[in-house]
A and B are shown apart, each in its own frame.
Chain A
């Protein structure tokens, strides 16, 4: 058994000495109603071993039949990744013994993937764009879910037995494989995260996957190798399996770079193997050794006939593709008139969709941004949730902003109104009346407060009469204090000047 903590080099030192080479295999679970080769429901969280047919259990004599929608979803993924779509391809059996696969083989594709030779532009947080080449995207089926029992930690190491649920066995998967990614340097961990985020966004946008990483709808195997600066030949790689959150992808790539660097720097060699990612220690441990030609004895699946595509079918599917996420971002930024930095901040804060809905509900782009990037983001940060999860709806913002625009409340009061709404006290209008938050718009009441403030600060009043208009602020402050903030500062200023007979 390997130790949980290996020697690692600092990331900076690793980057001084080595160039990282990355490669990703991302598995996407499709959200078809039924499985890839059987009519069992493709559903998450049901009673174990109920979404199964004899096909999913690999019982003798069964015959699989391909799900047409799964093939079409796979073609859509291929098109969205800029891939060529195979005119003809077939399925193959990948033979191995493991209890998650009751047939003792996984039905996959080998020499003829449905989609190949694509590329995707990945934009990093600061706007830098990297192009990642896609080697292939092929169709296959998911395996059953194993729960390892009896071990100290529930992990596979030290387990005494395993329990298997085949509800997931046969769920349609598309595996997306990149070509080796070179020349990314110190931005490798960031690119890794951004790539998986982009794949997730694309398949979600296509509507072909629920794309929830926490449910395993999108799973990433991350390949890392290092080569000394200036060397052309790739080093030995490791494959960290099932890294299943964006943050973990970034950390796992970073960790493996540092670990490889320490081994190589000390004159050692990297063992080609799979690695297990441990979220708790943010490190990897050795899995099984791996060779480039693992002996899976692939052969064409005799129970399934080939998938043959033609232009008419592909063009029909292409015409159904939604606007790609990157193109949509470009369009929205232009429509809204945000600067590059403003728009990037909006995207990174995860509030682009919310702002789009808010604007669609009738709020001006600048105002929508002010709400989502300001008050709502501030509250989300305090509550440690995503801004979109706070329960603030576009309709709510429309109403709040409407109250501000009508002069009923000011910006400061609107925050208090929002408090009330989020506390379940009703609509903004109801909260305003229940909490008595309406600004004092009765000039009589304001003048009374103004007279009080002028009397309290006669020297300031004198300065204003003498033409020092910037001194007005002190009187406005006094009035706001007297009205507990419930006054329209602009109106107060106007009234003060009128009262003192000074031209604004």
Chain B
């Protein structure tokens, strides 16, 4: 796996909408590199006969029936919102950043 560069960290910070100082970027670059190295060790231990997995427990097909359950009221739903209007969450207009 390639080394983590300072540019990688700056890019990730931008994507995550986190402002980081130059000093923080330097420190995080070092720390992330250590983490990546640790994970590399795991990859070395797992041979080709070990399939990749996204879950520690081999479970599958956990479903729920299509039955309506309890919902929040409008007041409850909005209770944590910084601002609201007309029963809806009010947010700053963001130009198509989707």
Contacts and interface: CB of A to CB of B under 8 A. Distances in A.
A303 to B, nearest CB: 10
Contacts of B92: 161-162
Interface string B64-92: 11111111111001101000011111111
A477 interface: no
Interface residues of B, number: 39
Given A48-B74, A98-B98, A307 B67 contact: no
B68 A40 contact: yes
A8 B76 CA distance: 51
Find the residue from A48, A53, A151 having the highest chain B CB count within 10 A: A48
Contacts of B38: none
Given A48-B74, A50-B73, A164-B88, A67 B66 contact: yes
Residue among A66, A69, A99, A302 with the most chain B CB within 10 A?
Answer: A99
A67 B61 CA distance: 10
B93 A307 contact: no
A484 interface: no
B64 A305 contact: no
Contacts, number: 143
Interface stretch (B21-29, B39-47, B52-60): B52-60
A325 interface: no
A274 B59 CA distance: 39
Contacts of B54: 90, 300-302, 306
B94 A166 contact: no
A98 to B, nearest CB: 5
B86 to A, nearest CB: 6
Nearest to A305: B59
B89 A306 contact: no
A5 interface: no
Nearest to A274: B96
Interface stretch (A152-160, A189-197, A354-362): A152-160
Contacts of B78: 49
B64 A99 contact: no
A349 interface: no
User: Which of A57, A148, A300 has the most chain B CB atoms inside 10 A of its CB?
Assistant: A57
A98 B69 contact: no
Contact of A161 (B60, B67, B73, B90): B90
Given A50-B74, A302-B54, A34 B66 contact: yes
Nearest to B62: A305
B67 A288 contact: no
B7 interface: no
A90 B53 CA distance: 10
Interface in A302-344: 302, 304-308
Given A41-B68, A68-B65, A161 B74 contact: no
Nearest to B86: A163
- Which of B73, B85, B95 gathers the greatest number of chain A CB atoms within 10 Å? B95
Nearest to B69: A39
A52, A66, A88, A304, most chain B CB atoms within 10 A? A52
Nearest to A151: B93
B61 A34 contact: no
Contact of A57 (B60, B77, B94): B77
A64 to B, nearest CB: 9
Contacts of B11: 295
Contact of B89 (A32, A67, A156, A163): A163
Given A39-B70, A40-B71, A96-B98, 11 more contacts: A39-B68, A50-B77, A65-B63, A97-B17, A150-B93, A159-B93, A165-B87, A165-B88, A295-B15, A302-B54, A308-B60
22 contacts: A32-B66, A39-B70, A40-B68, A40-B69, A50-B71, A50-B77, A53-B69, A53-B71, A54-B72, A57-B72, A66-B63, A66-B64, A68-B65, A69-B65, A149-B93, A163-B91, A164-B90, A274-B96, A297-B15, A300-B55, A306-B61, A307-B60
> Which 10 A-B residue pairings sit nearest by Cβ, starting from the closest?
A39-B69, A300-B54, A68-B63, A163-B88, A69-B66, A159-B93, A164-B89, A308-B60, A49-B77, A99-B91
